[in-house]
Structure 1
């Protein structure tokens, strides 16, 4: 059992546990309110220095950190593997994606955020109008355990590139990853621009109430609501990346083999512990039987074991085991059928892949996030039905569509933050695309230009270039000027179509 509950930790420290073996990985301090406040205070001083650098200077330092992380990526992957239990190859892939995002953020911050001209319009033609996006100050980042490098770096890298300092509270299941990132950053920056505070839920709550300028949270929807409530006490804005119940849609003209490959990987990679992973599959009736036969055969090749070369590892958070089992039991009790695996697939640490069919849309296996290696496969008569069922979920994070001719048309109808056409979760690997959801999946965006702007505020400036043709913002305004304004507005905007 992972020692993360305050009742099993000491008053000053807790242990991270290898979920494969149950062995202690390391012990870490529990930061209380005083320690969190001290970290934020140090970050404020560092933020003054960091924000005073030019975009080019910050880019140079961020690229130096990127180089350090890249050269020592084996260390980071090893810590991640020990703390999460995921295969080494998956840990390396996660690190590689995070490094690529760091490079993009550092290289594009100046262009996206730097002061630039915007149109003034005819009424204010005498004004030069510009806008720039300024750093907020200190950003608190609360990270998840399932992708403990890639996901928080989507906030950390972009916040740093925008000129902020960061105080990072990693998950209590993966604290070593956060410590490693902060230590390597300190070696390069020489200033506490990125700090880590380890601990349990109370540490995260203290960070929310510490007076940081924004909190970026990734985790469950329920915890996200608690984060929002805590931040509301100090009117601290939040970015919430919460749960998902992502759907994969297979059209009648789809490459079935490719759709099967995507479904198997999307549902089972990282032992299904992926917020944007595949949990629901809607398949056109004309290819349903073929798809189901292939997806069962392919999934039989995937096993969760303690072997180093296993394709998937253990369930990292022990309490998730009960949720996975409950959803499988509920699906069967509600009239569904397990065509691969079943309740017996759930072990103490490992869960084998499960495929469920004929599960009612009202079952918790369909409506709630499972976060395990399971999928429900549902036959649909049309893409209209597939779209309606996809959009019926309270979650709206990612999605996938497999179709040779209609992929874009289907994707554009989905109420989700992201869609991959003829692929699965590919949007997460594109640094220039925003990542985030709507509904119970949260709000705000990481990655891309939107991810950079998420950690800034807009500063607008107007500068008079010449005397105004119409002196309007003065008590000396004349009746003639008002008449001329009326004529100008009529000329510019009075020719709209009549209904």
Structure 2
């Protein structure tokens, strides 16, 4: 605890000397971060293989490459984002100029999850650096190899009084949440998100919470079934389903259910071969606890595809289940694994009602050739973000803010949204001294009459 307190104290002292706020400083530190990520690429790939059995292709595209693209985009636009934004002035402010300045919060805390342990630790850091903050990083203890690499990498290039890494378990997180940070950025589960928000509320610390929920994939009868099958299977079984925006369940029109499932079975073989459990491209479950939690879900319906598993390797084959209901345990919580329950519908309004009755999902995916149907889904259901005729791809664009709504999160990031997430918008009025409106003062004759004329 004393070490954590000392880190926060020294970071606050360093922040107040003003060095982190200049454009030159921020640019140089982002370039340093990009360089060290490239240098540590082999170690990061090795660590991701050890912790999650991620293939080099998946690890690079979803973690390393993602970050390099994010840094490149940020460097390209940083000066523009930092510039004070001119705002209009109303008639009551005649003669003045109005601006919005984006200033850093100060000393920030970034808590990362285990499913994309490198990307989801460093991506918020890009925003924190770009906005001019200091940061304390807390990697997940469930991915110890990645945590060790992050600690080694960051300590090599950044002083502790600027960017620090604090490793450890729940006790460490608890102590961190007692500190007087200026902003907390948390990615993880809804239950832990509530703990973070409660701790932050005690000190009125602003938070960004990137959580999860049961994100549906909905396939209408007019969908392109071949592409729907490929894109749903890719979105669901990347990282063995351990993705916060993965399709959590599939709602398919009864007219095309049989055809879609046949296509999905073919795609599974195309992606992972006849024996996915032995395929090097396929990920493993992060821990024994999560493996056994997921294994229990296999009893909640009829396994149509997959279901095989190996406990020692903590791997469960891509699994599609039929004959499940909203009352089954598999539909009561976010699955966060390679199991996809299938529900069918005949009326899209039934689907809309079912999704509305439950907590707002982080993502939603709808497959249909009809613009009218796409607009109906977009306008009728509240969700964090999503795709029409695809999965996951909305998270890849640096031009789109990513975040949840309601129980799936608060706040957003990526691209400019990351800069905004770690910035306070400070409003400034530069008032003229060439003249003055005397009627605004209580001593003015007929002042109220003039104010009513202007403001009424």
TM-score of the two chains, using structure 2 as the length reference: 0.91
Give the direction of change, closer, same or farther, for the CA distance of 1:182–1:104 in structure 2 (3 Å limit).
Answer: farther
Aligned runs of 1:84-483 on 2, under 5 Å? 84-93=52-61, 94-189=63-158, 192-301=161-270, 302=272, 307=278, 309-329=279-299, 331-332=300-301, 337-342=302-307, 345=309, 347-348=311-312, 349-406=314-371, 407-465=374-432, 470-479=437-446, 481-483=447-449
Q: Following TM superposition, by how much is the alpha carbon of 1:306 offset from its aligned partner in structure 2, in angstroms?
A: 6.8
Mapped partners of 1:48, 1:91: distance in 2: 37
Mapped partners of 2:416, 2:94: distance in 1: 29
Q: Are the equivalent residues in 2 in contact too, given 1:283–1:379 (CA < 8 A)? A: yes
Mapped partners of 1:346, 1:314: distance in 2: 10
The structure with more helix, counted as a fraction of residues: 2
Q: Are the equivalent residues in 2 in contact too, given 1:401–1:411 (CA < 8 A)? A: no
Residue deviations 1:275-294 (CA, integer Å, cap 9, x gap): 11111111223322211221
Residue deviations 1:467-496 (CA, integer Å, cap 9, x gap): 5674343223331x4323323334xxxxxx
Mapped partners of 1:42, 1:305: distance in 2: 50
Q: Following TM superposition, by how much is the alpha carbon of 1:409 offset from its aligned partner in structure 2, in angstroms?
A: 4.2
Q: Are the equivalent residues in 2 in contact too, given 1:282–1:380 (CA < 8 A)? A: yes
Mapped partners of 1:361, 1:271: distance in 2: 23
Residue deviations 1:236-258 (CA, integer Å, cap 9, x gap): 23222122211111122221111
Aligned residues: 450
Give the direction of change, closer, same or farther, for the CA distance of 1:419–1:385 in structure 2 (3 Å limit).
Answer: same
Mapped partners of 1:130, 1:110: distance in 2: 16
Residue deviations 1:106-144 (CA, integer Å, cap 9, x gap): 433432343221111122222211111111111111111
Give the direction of change, closer, same or farther, for the CA distance of 1:50–1:282 in structure 2 (3 Å limit).
Answer: farther
Give the direction of change, closer, same or farther, for the CA distance of 1:471–1:255 in structure 2 (3 Å limit).
Answer: farther
Aligned to 1:495: none
Residue deviations 1:284-342 (CA, integer Å, cap 9, x gap): 233222112211332355377675x523121012211222123332x23xxxx221234
Structure 2 gap ranges (5+) = none
Give the direction of change, closer, same or farther, for the CA distance of 1:353–1:123 in structure 2 (3 Å limit).
Answer: same
Residue deviations 1:339-361 (CA, integer Å, cap 9, x gap): 1234x546341111211123212
Mapped partners of 1:230, 1:432: distance in 2: 32
Give the direction of change, closer, same or farther, for the CA distance of 1:103–1:408 in structure 2 (3 Å limit).
Answer: farther
Give the direction of change, closer, same or farther, for the CA distance of 1:50–1:173 in structure 2 (3 Å limit).
Answer: farther
* Secondary structure at 2:413 match in 1: coil
Residue deviations 1:173-194 (CA, integer Å, cap 9, x gap): 2244344345434544556422
* Secondary structure at 1:465 match in 2: coil
Q: Are the equivalent residues in 1 in contact too, given 2:399–2:416 (CA < 8 A)? A: yes
TM-score of the two chains, using structure 1 as the length reference: 0.84
Give the direction of change, closer, same or farther, for the CA distance of 1:48–1:176 in structure 2 (3 Å limit).
Answer: farther
Structure 1 gap ranges (5+) = 1-32, 491-499
